[in-house]
Amino acid sequence: MGIDKDKELSGNGPNGNEERGGERGLDFIRQMVADDVQSGKWGGRVATRFPPEPNGYLHIGHAKSICLNYGIAAEFGGEFNLRFDDTNPEKEEQEYVDSIIEDVRWLGAKWDDRLFYGSDYFGRMYEYAIELIRKGKAYVCDLNGDQVREYRGTLTQPGREKSLYRNRTVEENLELFERMRKGEFPDGAKTLRAKIDMAHPNLNMRDPIMYRIVHETHHRQGDKWCIYPMYDWAHGFEDSIERITHSICTLEFENHRPLYDWFIDAVNDGRTDDGSGPWGKKIHHPQQIEFARLSLTYTVMSKRKLLKLVKENLVRSWDDPRMPTISGMRRRGYSPSAMWSFAKVIRVNKFNSTVDIALLEHCLREDLNKTSPRVMAVLKPLKVIIDNYPEGKVEELDAINNPEDPSAGTRKVPFSRELYIEQEDFMEEPPKKFFRLAPGREVRLRYAYFITCTDVVKDAGGNVVELHCLYDPATRGGDAPDGRKVKATLHWVSAPRALKAEVRLYDNLFTKPDPEDVPEGQDFTANLNPNSLEIVADCRVEPSVAGAAPLTRYQFERLGYFCVDPDSTAGKLVFNRTVTLKDTWAKIQQSQQQG
């Protein structure tokens, strides 16, 4: 078995159901791209990228960005690059690189042979830095961290223009920068800074740091470098080198755009279109565009918070099915196409908003309903004995695999004298609107027979432990020849033939829509939902699922969507509940309890 990669994305995904030019209009980014293609900017070429820093696992917010960037490339016939923005050796690890590659691939974004690392461009960035020094646009600064902050000024006060180091000669700067690169100075001793304007109203423009000294082994470059470029200095060149046309990032980088442009313009200053002159040919200047990052109710999205949940063992791991990480959602049972349709319905904008998790779950159900094979499983078993059914007899009854997809066919399900049904499907004293099994009441067992409850067996504590029923042989398959109706259809499994399984039920990780809504002095972990995981150890599943591979998805009829967890062993299946079915009865019950 296993997951068919092509099937995962069929009918949906980046190339399915496009609405470009359709009745709904383009989002503002696609509109810009369309305009640029129309006007012939960059020769009509479109190139996007997804540029994660490998310092954590990807989450659903990154999925939004991947869908945006890859989606645009696919829709406009452009190229999409996967690029690691690995400019800080202190936070980055190979483990994160590997997980990111796996996640982006799973989502279905295709980068072909264009997997890049920002750190592979360090040599060229170094050359650009020397060029800026030669042009008098950059200098080596000896200020320490505190002094840098002090000299920068504040939001309302300009920085100090007068710095001892700002007026160093080109020769001195060249020599010092070379010595920085050679490792002659300790961490923090010197920086290379751009000479812009210490009184600029945008703090980012007050002589931003281009390089800092970090004596640390880089996960990819090893000890080749001890000076590392800052984001602002590095990112534009990464985009430029890869000839990205539309550099899409999140809103908080809006203030950085002037700097993004300044650095590339600074290199281009003195360069020419044909490469004549001392500085050579102009380099490519991409367009930075910002959009709002995703927030979801009942969860947290920042890497810092997700890391805390993992490090403090508040969840099992990065891929805990309760996590909003792509790996967690994959393990939970999410499909790539559900992620794509979610990305499509939330669209992109320039203002912060919080999407209701119910919308995500709607997209999930919509996809799983169409694609998931149905099976019967009993989470909390209650033994049922059919007194008038022959002992030892087993019938193989036909069951439909997916009513939404006739091509999925049918399967055989064994029926026997002893069965299990769901404890919740029986009540000795049923309240109004409870249609399921009760003493003297007739219901249907799905695809099997009508049964009527005749006796209730209890233990010493008064708990119902066993039911005795009679079946009507004429209703085989589930229809009564005399046309009589029942109000409920129950799922069931054969007691001797069912498989044992463990099922893990998940609920929201947090009890409040906004986990940050906490009393003074507490943090978001105060809102952790103590019931976000319920392990049901002794479940029963119909035998057809035997040997199912990890991540195989099913609908357990009447219960929800479930998938096989990698913790499963040959002897014992473990399932994760991905999401419940919509449960009208639960709502009725709730309103009955409330009043």
Partner RNA sequence: UGGGGAAUAGUGUAAUGGUAGCACAAAUGACUCUGGAUCAUUUAGUCAAGGUUCGAAUCCUUGUUCCCCAGCCA
* Binding residues among 156-215 for RNA as defined by CB under 7 A: 156, 187-191, 201-204, 209, 212-214
- Binders of RNA among residues 12 to 31 (CB under 7 A) are 24-28, 31
555 binds RNA (CB under 7 A): yes
Q: Cα(239)–Cα(253) distance, rounded to whole angstroms? A: 15
Q: Among the candidate windows 11-19, 62-70, 410-418, 434-442, which touches RNA by CB under 7 A?
A: 434-442
Looking at residues 503 to 542 of the shown chain, list those that interact with RNA (rule: CB under 7 A): none
> Which listed residue (65, 81, 87, 494) binds RNA by CB under 7 A?
87
In one-letter notation, the amino acid at residue 159 is: G
- Output the smallest distance, CB 111 to RNA, in A: 18
Strand-pair partners of 281: 272
Q: Does 488 engage in binding with RNA (CB under 7 A)?
A: yes
Residue of 293, 305, 308, 316 with catalytic role: 293
Nearer to RNA (CB atom), residue 273 or residue 482: 482
**Which residue lies nearer to RNA by CB, 180 or 320?**
180
* Lookup result for tokens 């997951």: 3
Nearer to RNA, 345 or 546 (CB): 345
For residue 320, what are the CA distances in angstroms to 314, 324, 567?
10, 9, 12
**Is residue 582 within the footprint of RNA (CB under 7 A)?**
yes
Rounded to the nearest whole angstrom, what is the least distance from the CB of residue 460 to RNA in the complex?
29
Minimum CB distance to RNA smaller for 275 or for 406: 406
- At 299, the amino acid letter reads T
* Residue 28 or 279 having the CB closest to RNA: 28
| C-alpha span between 132 and 197 (Å, rounded) | 15
Contact status: 584 vs RNA (CB under 7 A): yes
Q: Which is nearer to RNA, 15 or 202 (CB)?
A: 202
Residue pair 336/107 in contact by the 8 Å Cβ criterion: yes
Which long-range contacts link 70-75 to residues 24+ away (Cβ below 8 Å)? 70/14, 70/107, 70/108, 70/109, 70/110, 71/14, 71/343, 72/29, 72/30, 72/33, 72/46, 72/48, 72/246, 72/248, 73/46, 73/47, 73/48, 74/14, 74/15, 75/14, 75/18, 75/20, 75/30
- As a dihedral over the C-alpha atoms of residue 343, residue 346, residue 350, residue 353, rounded to 10 degrees, the angle is -120
Contact pattern from residue 218 through residue 247 relative to RNA, giving x for each residue in contact according to CB under 7 A and a dash for the rest: ----------xxxx--xx------------
Phi and psi, residue 305, nearest 5°? -70, -40
Q: Which of 478, 503, 481 is nearest to 556 (CA)?
A: 503
The answer to whether 217 contacts RNA (rule: CB under 7 A) is: no
Q: Catalytic residue, from 30, 49, 206, 303: name it.
A: 303
Clarify whether 303 is annotated catalytic: yes
Residue 396 found at the interface with RNA (CB under 7 A):
no
> Which residues between 310 and 349 bind RNA (CB under 7 A)?
345-347, 349
478 binds RNA (CB under 7 A): yes
Does position 352 interact with RNA (CB under 7 A)? The reply is yes
CA-closest candidate to residue 286, choices 32, 21, 116? 32
In the complex with RNA, which residue's Cβ is closer, 126 or 447? 447
The single residue among 130, 241, 283, 355 that binds RNA, judged by CB under 7 A, is 355
Residue 53 designated active-site: yes
Residue type, 225: W
Q: Which of 60, 100, 133, 143 binds RNA (CB under 7 A)?
A: 143
- Alpha helices, DSSP H, located in 195-335: 231-241, 257-268, 303-311, 326-332
Q: Tokens 């939970």 label which residue? A: 332
| Closer to RNA by Cβ: residue 111 or 554 | 554
**Residue 403 interacting with RNA (CB under 7 A):** yes
Catalytic residue among 8, 45, 53, 271: 53
| Token pair listed for 559 | 């219960």
Nearest-approach distance from CB 438 to RNA, in angstroms: 10
Determine if 433 is a binding residue for RNA (CB under 7 A).
yes
- The stretch among 262-270, 514-522, 523-531, 585-593 that binds RNA (CB under 7 A) is 585-593
**Largest pairwise CA distance in the chain:** 102
Q: What residues act catalytically?
A: 53, 293, 303
